[in-house]
Amino acid sequence: MRVLMTGAAGMVGRKLTDRLVRDGTLNGRAITALDLHDIVPPASVDLPGAAVSVHSGDLAEPGAAAALTAAKPDVIFHLAGVVSGEAEADFDKGYRVNLDATRALFDAIRLAAYVPRVVFTSSIAVFGAPFPEIIPDEFHATPLTSYGAQKLMAETLLADYTRRGFFDGIGIRLPTICVRPGKPNLAASGFFSGIIREPLAGKEAILPVPRSVVHTHASPRSAVNFLIRAAEIDGALVGPRRNLTMPGVGVTVGEQIEALERIAGGDAVKLIREEPDATIWAIVQGWPTRFAATRARALGFAAETSFDEIIRAHIEDELEASRASSS
């Protein structure tokens, strides 16, 4: 089993790499080769019995995708992408990375004339307001960002290339990943993680929106589980609709904070400072709130079922793991 991963230096890529190293197998077969690619060289890993290679560069460059797929990997995780804010700020870069590089990768596989499983990370950004309270699987995609438009176009390519037999693709629309490890960032969605991560580390966090805001979350651990499930699932079960909205936990910010209090106590919650920010609130109001994700659940994609579980996953995977590795 040869595995190729693009975007391997990103947060989800690093966690997926760790999982593959821990499992040593994918879909019941030993991993014998692991190729990790990103625009900058991802960290290498030690996977006994497997040839691990690290690659870097611009996938949209002529020949880059063909070189990367020349060894005919059995499973390709295509995680690479420019994030929403950057795709909005730099039009050309967003289309080049999120659309052209994806198409270059898909075409390289098509022209290599074999049929690997391709797992592509799409996003709930394919949806654009106004939304029903719970977005059903059959709701139309009308993105309101260039990032969302690029993801939707890549999804459309993936489904068409799969239908034509060029590869066997599964696109997964990730909800907001929470609790995101690392430092606070400037993303408008950053507070969803910040109000949990920072108090758990004894630090203050800013809450810029009302507690009534509803949003859907899945842990980094669930994101990795989605990717593994997408790599393993029988394509015949999925049928021609290859892009699936992933499940998650739909909660209000108030419910997030109640979960934090149950797990970490009232002192932790006191570290959350409410500081309304009209700009952030306006952005957040354009985002979808809840998803039915009926098909994905039926196909075995499982997320947490409560926000408490999401916090516990963060504590286990980040805080306890880092304590264990430093002791």
Interface with a second copy by CB under 8 A: which residues? 91, 128, 137-144, 146, 149, 152-153, 156-157, 159-160, 163-164, 240-241
- 135 vs 253, beta carbon nearer a second copy: 135
| Cα 102 to Cα 77: distance, rounded to the nearest angstrom | 11
Token pair listed for 137:
């699987």
State the greatest distance between any 2 C-alpha atoms of the chain, in Å, as a whole number.
59
A 10 A CB-CB count for 321 gives 13
Q: Active site includes 95? A: no
- 177 vs 238, beta carbon nearer a second copy: 238
| Cα 260 to Cα 324: distance, rounded to the nearest angstrom | 22
Min dist CB 287 to a second copy, Å, is 15
| Cα 235 to Cα 111: distance, rounded to the nearest angstrom | 21
Min dist CB 186 to a second copy, Å, is 22
Min dist CB 234 to a second copy, Å, is 19
Using alpha carbons, select from 9, 5, 14 the residue that is nearest to residue 318: 14
Min dist CB 134 to a second copy, Å, is 13
| Cα 66 to Cα 59: distance, rounded to the nearest angstrom | 9
Before 62, cis peptide (omega within 30)? no
- 10 vs 128, beta carbon nearer a second copy: 128
What 3-state class would DSSP assign to 309? helix
A 10 A CB-CB count for 129 gives 10
| Cα 191 to Cα 306: distance, rounded to the nearest angstrom | 19
Cα 303 from chain centre? 13
β-pairing, 51-56 vs 25-26, is unpaired
Token pair listed for 68:
């990367």
- 29 vs 241, beta carbon nearer a second copy: 241
Min dist CB 138 to a second copy, Å, is 5
| Cα 40 to Cα 310: distance, rounded to the nearest angstrom | 30
Min dist CB 145 to a second copy, Å, is 8
Residue found by looking up tokens 């690659």 in the block: 55
Min dist CB 59 to a second copy, Å, is 18
Measured in degrees and rounded to the nearest 5, phi and psi for residue 176 equal -65, 130
- 208 vs 288, beta carbon nearer a second copy: 288
- 173 vs 221, beta carbon nearer a second copy: 173
- 141 vs 174, beta carbon nearer a second copy: 141
- Residue among 95, 114, 147, 161 flagged as catalytic: 147
Using alpha carbons, select from 33, 77, 100 the residue that is nearest to residue 169: 77
The residues that are catalytic are: 147
